[in-house]
Amino acid sequence: MKRLKRVDRFSGLAVVIALLLSVPILVIVSQVFSGSAALWQHLAQTVLPDYLKNSFYLSIGVSAGVLVIGVSTAWLTSQYHFLGSRLLNLLLMLPMAIPAYIIAYSYTGLLDFSGPVQQWIRTSFDLRYGDYWFPQIRSLGGAIWMLIFVLYPYVFLLARAAFLSQSSSLAAASRSLGNSGWSTFWRINLPLARPAIVAGVSLVLMETLADYGTMQYFGIPTFTTGIFRTYYGLGNLAAAAQLASLLLSAIALLIWLEKYSRRKQQYFNNTEAAAQPAKISLSPLAGALAFSWCLLPVLFGFVIPVCLLLVWCLQYVEQFTASFFILAWNSLMLAAVAALIATAIALLLAYAERFNRSRLTQASVQVASLGYALPGTIIAIGVLTSFAWLDHQLVPLLSGLFSKDLGLLFSGTLMALLFAYCVRFMAMPLGAARSALAQIKPSIDQSAKTLGKNTAQTLYQIHMPLLKGSLLTAFLMVFVDVLKELPATLILRPFNFNTLAVRAYELASDERLYEAAPAALTIVLVGLIPVYLLTKSIYRER
């Protein structure tokens, strides 16, 4: 009976948490058929075609770019041995540490009309504006390249893992049938890795559709920027929610595509138990070409933008004022609190699932992790709508009881921001806690019970020492993602409360790129932490 009560308590708590975390998503879905039909018709006749067209071309361009770079680098580093190939496995992941909007600021400062490159061209060849052609960085093509540089590691990671898991007997059988190495790649290796590649591209497309900072800075109207303009420009929350629901439909399609590709992968892994292929050593010339090709995305995606930020920081050290350190403190404090809350809730949900394997509990745990697939813009609009409704219900009642104007209790507070972060990033600590708990044998729980330990004592004295490594990793990953998060923070932050990401965005929007460098570089350097942990984890598994 005691165990039944404990199970019910955990399961009930998991259901309540899942319901709370799903409220913003349900609010957005409920807005599909609400709002003003006239305003919606106006949007459809004026700006919606541009949103659709730009989002479509952006998705196609970024997908093509990450496919070429991600698959080719994954193939070279997983199948061939050449000088520097092992180092490239780490270097190729470094661009993951840079938010897309920061790399956009860096290249704008370098390649824009007033940047050093065009200044050098005008000075060296005695040219003036209009006398020469130079590609426009603030364009749809420029935005596509910015996103390719920072998002290709998603495809690289998944494709490389898929290539490494393929059996050497398949390649040997293909060659025995007369196929060349190139033919074997196209006819055997690439089709087998297709589900992993599709999953990687799906993640890239979700990040592309969710991007706000780059699109807003380059002035490209997409769904994400349209949601902002509709909310801030027209002041119409319902219309913004309707646009968000359209974007949500596109994200749902991508999630289905990713799930479908993983279902197919079960069929292709029948020969996984066979020996993995030995890497082929390349000649010095071929090795140099392979190294150069793999180094290019690292140069453009990490080395050049980080060097630019570093130079600007050294030139404008006066930016490290007391206000900068206040911003840094706000960002680090907010990220730490959000990561701590998310990790604690994730541990509770994983514990509930461990003690109760019912469908209700498992469904609740799955629902709680849905937010990671959604852009911060959608979650922010959902949180804002639900908290505004709550304020309208409670504030008049409480103001009447206490005979005092209480203002807004939930909207525009740090609590709303922390709640949005938990909805957005719950999947990361939840996945870490579930996988770490799965490695602890249930017999350990039974042994603790026979020794008279209750649930809290078992968690604190036995499970926590075993889980602390995984939970620390999850904490750091949420910490860094919150530090980089821009759209949700812009919409939900309290009045006069700023973070490094928002400050960098504001300065860059005012064309004060050099002054934005300290905040941007701080975000990048902190972002290297999860990249290092991820690389270390992959090497340990290999």
> Alpha carbon 499 to chain centroid distance?
18
The stretch 529-539 carries a mean pLDDT of: 73
Q: Which CATH number does the domain 9-263+282-309+317-541 belong to among 1.10.3720.10, 1.10.8.100, 3.30.420.10, 3.40.50.300? A: 1.10.3720.10
Residue 473 pLDDT level (bands cut at 50, 70, 90): confident
DSSP 92: T
Is pLDDT at 180 greater than 80 in this prediction?
Answer: no
| C-beta of residue 200 within 8 angstroms of C-beta of residue 159 | yes
Domain spans of the chain, in order of start: 9-263+282-309+317-541
Residue 281 pLDDT level (bands cut at 50, 70, 90): confident
| C-beta of residue 437 within 8 angstroms of C-beta of residue 354 | yes
User: For 439-499, where are the alpha helices, taking DSSP H only?
Assistant: 442-450, 455-458, 464-484, 487-492
The stretch 409-432 carries a mean pLDDT of: 86
The two three-digit tokens of residue 361, written as one number: 């509990």
d(CA 256, CA 85): 35
Is pLDDT at 267 greater than 50 in this prediction?
Answer: no
CA nearest 109: which of 378, 326, 273, 309? 309
The total number of residues written for the chain in this structure: 542
**What Rg do the C-alpha atoms of the chain give, in angstroms?**
25
The stretch 312-341 carries a mean pLDDT of: 86
Query: 199-217: string of b/e by CB count within 10 Å (b at 16+)?
Result: bbbbbbbbbbbbbbbbbbb
Is pLDDT at 394 greater than 90 in this prediction?
Answer: no
Would you state the pLDDT for residue 307? 93
Residues 12-65: pLDDT tens digits?
888 888 889 888 888 877 776 666 667 777 777 888 888 889 999 999 999 999
The stretch 367-376 carries a mean pLDDT of: 77
The two three-digit tokens of residue 333, written as one number: 């404090």
Rounded to 5 degrees, what angle do the CA atoms 259, 261, 264 make? Answer: 110
Residues 488-506: pLDDT tens digits?
898 888 888 888 888 888 8
SS3 236: coil
Would you state the pLDDT for residue 258? 66
| C-beta of residue 21 within 8 angstroms of C-beta of residue 371 | yes
CA nearest 143: which of 203, 209, 52? 209
User: For 165-283, where are the alpha helices, taking DSSP H only?
Assistant: 168-176, 181-184, 190-210, 213-218, 223-228, 237-268
The two three-digit tokens of residue 142, written as one number: 């420029």
Judge residue 470's burial from the number of C-beta atoms within 10 Å of its C-beta, 0-12 exposed, 13-18 middle, 19 or more buried: buried
Using DSSP, how many helices (H) and how many strands (E) does the chain show?
Answer: 26, 2
d(CA 130, CA 100): 29
> Alpha carbon 183 to chain centroid distance?
35
d(CA 202, CA 256): 9
**CA dihedral sign, ordered 255, 256, 257, 262:** positive
The stretch 173-179 carries a mean pLDDT of: 74
Using the structure block, give the residue that is written with the tokens 């050098």.
120
Using the structure block, give the residue that is written with the tokens 């497309």.
205
β-partners of residue 399 are none
DSSP 277: P
Percent of the chain with pLDDT strictly greater than 90: 18
The stretch 282-290 carries a mean pLDDT of: 90
Is pLDDT at 406 greater than 70 in this prediction?
Answer: no
Pick 145 or 451 by higher pLDDT: 145
β-partners of residue 80 are 280
d(CA 255, CA 374): 10
Judge residue 288's burial from the number of C-beta atoms within 10 Å of its C-beta, 0-12 exposed, 13-18 middle, 19 or more buried: middle
Residue 338 pLDDT level (bands cut at 50, 70, 90): very high
Rounded to 5 degrees, what angle do the CA atoms 312, 313, 319 make? Answer: 120
d(CA 130, CA 3): 78
The stretch 392-399 carries a mean pLDDT of: 80
Question: Would you put residue 84 in left (φ > 0), alpha (ψ -120 to 50) or beta?
Answer: left
Residues 193-216: pLDDT tens digits?
888 888 788 888 888 888 888 998
pTM for the structure as a whole? 0.82
Pick 348 or 45 by higher pLDDT: 348
The stretch 450-463 carries a mean pLDDT of: 78
CA distances from 92 to 154, 156, 300, 467 (A): 10, 8, 11, 29
| C-beta of residue 149 within 8 angstroms of C-beta of residue 298 | no
The one-letter amino acid code at 110 reads: L
| C-beta of residue 356 within 8 angstroms of C-beta of residue 234 | no
Would you state the pLDDT for residue 411? 79
CA nearest 520: which of 309, 227, 315? 309
Using the structure block, give the residue that is written with the tokens 């010339």.
285
Between strands 80-81 and 280-281, the pairing is parallel
The stretch 325-330 carries a mean pLDDT of: 88
The stretch 433-452 carries a mean pLDDT of: 80
Judge residue 160's burial from the number of C-beta atoms within 10 Å of its C-beta, 0-12 exposed, 13-18 middle, 19 or more buried: buried
Three-state secondary structure of 322-391: HHHHHHHHHHHHHHHHHHHHHHHHHHHHHHHHHHCCCHHHHHHHHHHCHHHHCCHHHHHHHHHHHHHHHH
> Alpha carbon 276 to chain centroid distance?
31
Would you state the pLDDT for residue 86? 85
The two three-digit tokens of residue 488, written as one number: 């949700």
